[in-house]
């Protein structure tokens, strides 16, 4: 939760710069709405949890728990929006949603309830809508790359994989080399006017010639976006950086960035050491570094080292009598175990530099590993070989639904069929005139 709060602090401030407002809409969706908006809701139907009973009474009609809030919010949008003066309308809510997955839940990655933010915005023109889609996608890239130190690819989903009922879906996609898993890290959807039609969201458009003449029933449909990222982002981070000792947290999202651990050698002046430790924590905290002291006397320093390594704290500072005499401290990096002695006087600057270095190094290492898994293929034989090899496949692609379904069918087997992740915006110049798409073996 502390990591989630740090991500939230960044993202919320950024969207408030865009004049997004905070909202909270209900957890429940009445069956009435679900029935009316069947086309959209069908995609979620197998995963929806239904309340049928309260106290000891059966409800007259079951009530759905939101798997996402389009059907909750958009009937209100239709009431609130009358003219171009009500636009843009930009809402965001932080909440939990429920999707009753039938496959095995995995904490943070695929859980039946998860936390997310969902942004829902309404515009008069497609241009504004398009622009916001990319602006938000860039914020998602920053969350992953700048905060979680996880490399992601920005791109556009295929017609098969896009958000049900939307016009187009952009996404950031992550990849876990160890398991060969691709993970949709966040999506920013342009819904076009499809939901506006479904929910009858119209506005009087001053720029529409028909409306200028005050013709009746000549209102325009709005353009809409929706976009979300979830606590899955934390799961992706754990899988990307973790090692056999436990968590490895990038400094920017580590609730504790520096743990100070005194080493009580025999006959040591513990009071003096503790005082120094407290001063260090205070000095670092004053400089805006999240530091803490583990002064517990009933655990050995070795136990504490392992404990805080498991918790992923980026830097550990060890202090014993010798350090005290030499006016230095020993700093140990979590990511590579490197130890370095630093003069106490320059501590803040050194720690800051080290934290930055760890942040960069985690990202670079993860990027190198990810890039090493990318395999460019041109033929079907190369494709199937790469699928079996758990590679992140980059292939020329037509984006036709029938062809994607055919690829799925032809790769079915023990390893699961292949699916597209996205067509990266950063297109390689491999086959002229063709888009290239990331493909991945399904679990």
Return residues touching a second copy (CB under 8 A).
1-2, 4-5, 21-24, 26-28, 45-56, 62-63, 65, 85, 93, 95-96, 98, 100, 102, 113, 115, 296, 298
CB 118 within 8 A of CB 189: no
Q: 128 CB contacts (<8 Å, ≥6 apart)?
A: 88, 223
For the CB of residue 296, give the shortest distance to a second copy in the complex, in Å: 7
CB 275 within 8 A of CB 212: no
For the CB of residue 62, give the shortest distance to a second copy in the complex, in Å: 7
Integer CA distances (angstroms), 165 to 92, 157, 194, 199, 288, in order? 20, 13, 7, 12, 45
Query: In what side-by-side order are the strands of the sheet with 423-424?
Result: 21-22, 89-98, 113-123, 223-230, 181-192, 168-176, 153-156, 423-424
Closer of 28 and 380 to a second copy (Cβ):
28
Closer of 52 and 345 to a second copy (Cβ):
52
Closer of 306 and 336 to a second copy (Cβ):
306
Cα gap 378→66, rounded to integer Å: 42
Enumerate long-range contacts of 388-394, CB under 8 Å, 24 or more apart. 388/415, 388/441, 390/179, 390/180, 390/441, 391/180, 392/175, 392/180, 392/182, 392/421, 392/438, 392/440, 393/418, 393/438, 393/439, 393/440, 394/424, 394/428, 394/430, 394/436, 394/437, 394/438, 394/439
For the CB of residue 257, give the shortest distance to a second copy in the complex, in Å: 16
Closer of 5 and 364 to a second copy (Cβ):
5
For the CB of residue 19, give the shortest distance to a second copy in the complex, in Å: 11
For the CB of residue 141, give the shortest distance to a second copy in the complex, in Å: 25
Closer of 10 and 50 to a second copy (Cβ):
50
For the CB of residue 202, give the shortest distance to a second copy in the complex, in Å: 19
Closer of 126 and 212 to a second copy (Cβ):
212
Closer of 65 and 186 to a second copy (Cβ):
65
Residue with tokens 């993202």: 11
For the CB of residue 113, give the shortest distance to a second copy in the complex, in Å: 5
């Amino acid at each position: 939760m502390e990591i989630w709060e740090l991500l939230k602090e960044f993202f919320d401030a950024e969207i408030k710069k865009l004049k997004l407002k905070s909202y909270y809409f209900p957890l429940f969706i009445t069956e009435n709405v679900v029935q009316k908006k069947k086309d959209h809701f069908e995609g979620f139907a197998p995963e929806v949890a239904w309340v049928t009973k309260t106290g000891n009474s059966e409800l007259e009609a079951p009530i759905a728990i939101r798997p996402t809030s389009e059907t909750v919010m958009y009937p209100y949008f239709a009431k609130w929006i009358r003219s171009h003066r009500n636009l843009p309308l930009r809402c965001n809510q932080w909440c939990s949603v429920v999707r009753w997955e039938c496959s095995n839940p995995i904490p943070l990655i695929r859980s039946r309830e998860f936390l997310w933010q969902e942004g829902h915005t309404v515009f008069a023109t497609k241009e504004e809508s398009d622009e916001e889609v990319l602006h938000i996608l860039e914020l998602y890239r920053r969350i992953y790359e700048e905060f979680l130190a996880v490399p992601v690819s920005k791109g556009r989903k295929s017609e098969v994989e896009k958000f049900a009922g939307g016009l187009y879906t952009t996404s950031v996609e992550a990849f876990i080399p160890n398991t060969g898993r691709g993970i949709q890290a966040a999506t920013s959807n342009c819904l076009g006017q499809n939901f506006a039609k479904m929910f009858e969201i119209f506005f009087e458009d001053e720029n529409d010639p028909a409306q200028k003449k005050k013709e009746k029933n000549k209102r325009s449909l709005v353009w809409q976006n929706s976009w979300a990222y979830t606590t899955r982002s934390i799961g992706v981070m754990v899988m990307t950086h973790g090692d056999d000792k436990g968590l490895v947290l990038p400094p920017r999202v580590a609730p504790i960035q520096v743990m100070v651990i005194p080493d009580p050698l025999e006959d040591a002046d513990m009071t003096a050491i503790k005082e120094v430790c407290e001063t260090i924590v205070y000095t670092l905290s004053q400089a805006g570094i999240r530091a803490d002291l583990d002064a517990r006397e009933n655990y050995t320093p070795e136990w504490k080292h392992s404990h805080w390594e498991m918790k992923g704290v980026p830097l550990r500072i060890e202090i014993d009598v010798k350090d005290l005499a030499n006016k230095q401290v020993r700093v140990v990096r979590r990511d590579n175990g490197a130890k370095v002695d630093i003069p106490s006087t320059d501590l803040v600057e050194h720690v800051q530099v080290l934290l930055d270095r760890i942040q960069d190094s985690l990202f670079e290492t993860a990027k190198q590993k990810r890039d090493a898994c990318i395999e460019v293929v041109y033929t079907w034989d190369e494709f199937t070989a790469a699928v079996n090899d758990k590679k992140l496949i980059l292939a020329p692609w037509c984006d036709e639904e029938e062809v994607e379904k055919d690829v799925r069918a032809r790769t079915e087997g023990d390893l699961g069929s292949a699916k597209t992740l996205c067509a990266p915006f950063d297109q390689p110049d491999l086959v002229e005139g063709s888009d290239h798409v990331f493909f991945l073996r399904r679990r």
